[in-house]
A and B are shown apart, each in its own frame.
Chain A
Amino acid sequence: MPEADPNVRNKSNLEVNKGLTLEMALSESHRCLDCAVPTCIVGCPVGTNIPKFIKYLEAGDVLGAAEVLKENNSLPAICGRVCPQEIQCEAQCFYVKKLSKEGAAIGHLERFVADYAREHGPTTIPALAEPNGIKMAVIGSGPAGLTVAGELAKFGYDVTVFEALHDLGGVLKYGIPEFRLPKSIVDYEINTIKNMGVKFITNFIVGKTASIADLKEEGYVAFFIASGAGLPNFMNIPGENYNGIQSANEFLTRVNLMGGGNKDFDTPVHTGKNVVVVGGGNTAMDSVRTAKRMGAERAIIMYRRTMEEMPARAEEIKHAIEEGIEFINLASPIEYFADERGKINKMRVQKMELGEPDASGRRRPVVIEGSEYDIDVDSVVIAVGVSPNPIIQQSMPELEITKWNTIKVDGNMMTSIPGLFAGGDIVRGGATVILAMGDGRKAASGMHSYVQADVLAKV
């Protein structure tokens, strides 16, 4: 995959991965062996027919390949960019499993096909069933919500998506930065769903602006809750509420959604010369690379284990290193200090070493006593995970939840309340775009069966 120059891109919002050329894509497509039992499909949470789309591509029919992608996946240009293919489809590729070679670059090909179709093909929408006039509500316009909306529209339902923020796309907009997922691509995919007849209402918080009971009165018969994992975790250490210390959600939302750091926008954001991001996941990488782009001289990842255990995608870590991000591994903050105005200026860090494996199978970080030292910082971003958003649960005490406050669902993604389905991070607690989409597909067919049974029962 061709990439933008690290020393240019780390000062701009330029997309890092530039995408394959047609020649590169065709050449890579020849590598697909069209296996009799395509294990790659099993590795895809939405069951994309991978060999089929690659064969269309190989035959030079790129638009045909795009049609195949769209059969199971309403957001291929997004998945081609942000899916962790290396642990999903590509990990199941024959080359990897049997030949110990690099797998077919399925993600790169998916992105190429989706981008090519967007740039060169006609604006098409998937085939839709005859409108049946039955109203369905989707709560949240992130990846799970968009997927359900698209699938339900295909079945002919009258679908409305309710979004709490002023802009559509959920984490695809407020979370993932422009340099990894251009917002124009997200808008293009949302427009396709709009063209399928789905209605979108922003500034509407189900559970607050109106309750599910209110919406039932307005004629909605089934609901899909995809309100996301929007409650950032903090570490509860002294000084954590000083100014300049913010959650990754806050930092990224201010920059990505609100234009923070751009002088034409009113929203301010904390940055500085020395920025430390605490955590080792994709959100931490997005935050630290954003801080670098906003002018940080030292943009540092602080992680309590080592590079090997880091949960971020290998590609994100590689890109971060190329862009001049520093890594302080085997370390964790224990206290923050501030100036007389309450603005952070120093953090105290404790060194760690790896002990025995814990429940996650990763070696547990153990504190090295007496290893504390201080670092001068202007700003700190906390990226140590998120918890489920509490609003829907607070508004519906009868809804069954787990001890982690995620919503309980059955095999069809239906909650303890009939007709109320849920998926994505509100069920999983914090996962990926593609797993949320997989939930969406499953829920859409669950909702379809539920409504059909309900309608038939009333005939």
Chain B
Amino acid sequence: MFKIIEKKFLSENVARLIIEAPYIAKSRRAGHFIILRIDKNGERIPLTISDADVEKGTISLIVQRVGVSSHKLCAMNAGDFILDVVGPLGKATHIANVGTVLCAGGGVGVAPLFPIVQAMKIAGNRVITIIAARNKDLVILENEMAEYSDELIVMTDDGSKGTKGLVTQGMEEVILREKINEAIVIGPAVMMKFAALTTKKYDIPTMASLNTIMVDGTGMCGACRVSVGGKTEFVCVDGPEFDAHKVNFDEMLSRLGAYKDKESENYEEYVKSCEATSLN
């Protein structure tokens, strides 16, 4: 059982949970993720560790409400317990002083990007961070990112905050302006696909952190498989970070929708059960 120490909504549908998990807090590095199961009938879902406090023995997770499990998770509060949390999983991000690093995060992908920005800055890089969201209410971790970035660019699709436009436009502006040695892109598959195409034009080595469907997270099942440079890789043990120029994002996008029908069905049932409970 893993205790929730704190829960806070960062935007309407995105919550931060701070969870007691001392071993994971101590072992985790930037890029690592965990798998959790809320209760005995729950599914196993992967979530990136966005921060950790070794002294307090806690990790923080940022979760966006999309399906049944993420809704249930966002409905939990400080003092509640999550049945299972296992990690840290995946390979840690390769952190080195390479010069100038461009970090681009879209939507809730900003959360897994944060520990990388932090580690890249501590390693001595010049860090330029772009965080993008649909509108101002969905922008998260702005202050945290600003603390570890030499420059922070906020972008929204509707221009309600920062610069109006897509993340790729912001990236291109930076790339045309100064020499970028490495780029890291994390966000929805579509965003990563176009961000990768943008950096490819300028031959900038680019990593993408993938968030696929998983079950065990230890290489046992292969649910998370993706094609990277034509070869099948397991995101859980070979990733989650891969050369963004080689990832088949279209295949990944299709695989993310593998259980869409069942998920929608579950979600409708869940909403009904919530309504039934609130009526009582």
Enumerate chain A interface residues (CB-CB to B < 8 A).
164-166, 174, 202-205, 208-211, 228, 230-232, 234, 236, 240-244, 246-247, 249-250, 253-254, 258-259, 264-268, 270, 341-343, 389-391, 394
Contacts and interface: CB of A to CB of B under 8 A. Distances in A.
B43 A210 contact: no
Contacts of A166: 37, 44, 83-84, 86
Contacts of B201: none
Given A208-B87, A258-B215, A253 B220 contact: yes
B220 to A, nearest CB: 4
Contact of A232 (B85, B87, B221): B221
Most buried by A among B42, B83, B220, B266: B220
A241 B227 contact: yes
A58 to B, nearest CB: 44
Given A241-B227, A247-B221, A266-B43, A210 B23 contact: yes
A230 B220 contact: yes
22 contacts: A164-B216, A166-B83, A204-B23, A205-B86, A208-B88, A228-B220, A230-B219, A240-B232, A246-B222, A249-B221, A249-B222, A250-B223, A253-B216, A253-B220, A258-B44, A267-B43, A267-B215, A268-B263, A342-B251, A343-B258, A389-B220, A391-B237
Contacts of B222: 232, 234, 246-247, 249-250
Contacts of A266: 41-43, 68-69, 266
A209 B41 contact: no
* Smallest CB-CB A-B distances: 5 pairs: A342-B254, A250-B221, A230-B220, A268-B262, A268-B259
Contacts of A264: 41
Main secondary structure of the interface of B (DSSP, over half): mixed
Main secondary structure of the interface of A (DSSP, over half): loop
A180 B44 CA distance: 25
B89 A208 contact: yes
Nearest to B85: A203
Nearest to A210: B23
B24 interface: yes
Given A231-B219, A231-B237, A241-B255, 15 more contacts: A164-B218, A165-B86, A166-B84, A208-B27, A208-B89, A209-B24, A210-B23, A241-B225, A241-B232, A242-B254, A246-B223, A253-B221, A267-B215, A268-B263, A268-B266
A253 B85 CA distance: 18
Contacts of A258: 43-44, 215
Contacts of A174: 220
A170 to B, nearest CB: 10
B79 interface: no
Contacts of A244: 258
B206 to A, nearest CB: 22
Nearest to A252: B221
A209 B88 contact: yes
Contacts of B41: 259, 264-266
Contact of B219 (A240, A265, A267, A390): A390
A243 B258 contact: yes
Given A203-B86, A209-B88, A258-B43, A270 B258 contact: yes
Contacts of B220: 174, 228, 230-232, 249, 253, 389
Contacts of B23: 204, 209-210
Interface string B33-73: 00001000111100000000000000000000000110000
Given A241-B227, A243-B254, A342-B254, A165 B216 contact: yes
B99 interface: no
